Amino acid sequence: MKGLLIDFNFSGKHILVVGGGATSYRKVLRFIDAQPKIQVVSRTFSDEMKKLHKMKKIELVKAEVKDTEKFIKSLKPKPDLVIAATDDHKLNTELAVRAKSLGCMAYAIDNPKISDFTLPALAEIGEVKVAISTSGKSPAMAGILRRKIEKMITEEDLLQIRLQYYVREILKKKVSDQKVRRKILYKILRNERISRILKEKKFDEALEEAVKIVEEHKICGNCADSAEILKV
């Protein structure tokens, strides 16, 4: 069965993490920006975990999990997601199984088969996020591919994304036809002059050129075929 790469919205959700070490810390970082409620349970905590706690990003609970069934059933309120991130493979598997039986989503760091999802390597450049998954077969290779992708995305690409966002907002107010809006956006995306300006990091000038293209469509709005101006 092929997996799906889905960007879940964990804002305001309750995430329980069992394990306070380096691996657990890296997994916690993947969720921090979404601002969920994160509770970490462990006998000991890394310095990084303690720093997050001091910053009020996470809650730390010092405890040892021995009876997984009793532990999961005692959780109130029921977490939306349980992450088993200890150095004990058997414990991680048991925690995931118990959590799923309670109706929680579960992720065991060393058992992708029992987990409801995997956490792919994530390339982040500005506002761009690219997930790379090897279906758990080679985390090391996923990391290598992530670094390659990060080198491929240029500052021009990031500025183009910003430009497209601004123009989309303008078009929503000026052009009611979604198909026409899409054609205008692609015309701007493929415009060589705008690309050249963005390479020179002159965003405001590029925006001016993009607005001209939008206005050209407005002027041609009464043409027999207003889509003519959108041809590229």
**Which of these CATH numbers, 1.10.3470, 1.20.120, 3.30.160, 3.20.20, describes 120-153?**
3.30.160
This prediction has a pTM of: 0.67
pLDDT of residue 192: 95
Asked if 227 contacts 181 with a C-beta cutoff of 8 angstroms, the reply is no
| Averaged pLDDT score across all residues of the chain | 89
Beta-bridged to residue 128, according to DSSP, are: 125
Residue 116 main-chain phi, psi, to 5 deg? -75, -20
Q: How far is CA 201 from CA 64, 81, 196, 206, in A?
A: 54, 42, 9, 9
* 14-119: CATH class: alpha beta
pLDDT band of 126, cuts 50, 70, 90: confident
Tokens of 42: 């462990």
**CA geometry: angle 41, 42, 46, nearest 5 deg:** 110
Alpha-carbon distance 84 to 20, whole Å? Answer: 10
pLDDT tens-digit series, residues 55-87: 999 999 999 999 999 999 999 889 999 999 999
- Hey, where are the domains in the chain? 14-119, 120-153, 155-230
Q: What is the per-residue pLDDT across 150-209, written as a single tens digit (0 to 9) for each?
A: 899 999 999 999 999 999 999 998 888 899 999 999 999 999 999 999 999 999 999 999
Three-class secondary structure of residue 40 per DSSP: strand
> DSSP for 99-133?
HHHTT-EEEETT-TTTSS----EEEEETTEEEEE-
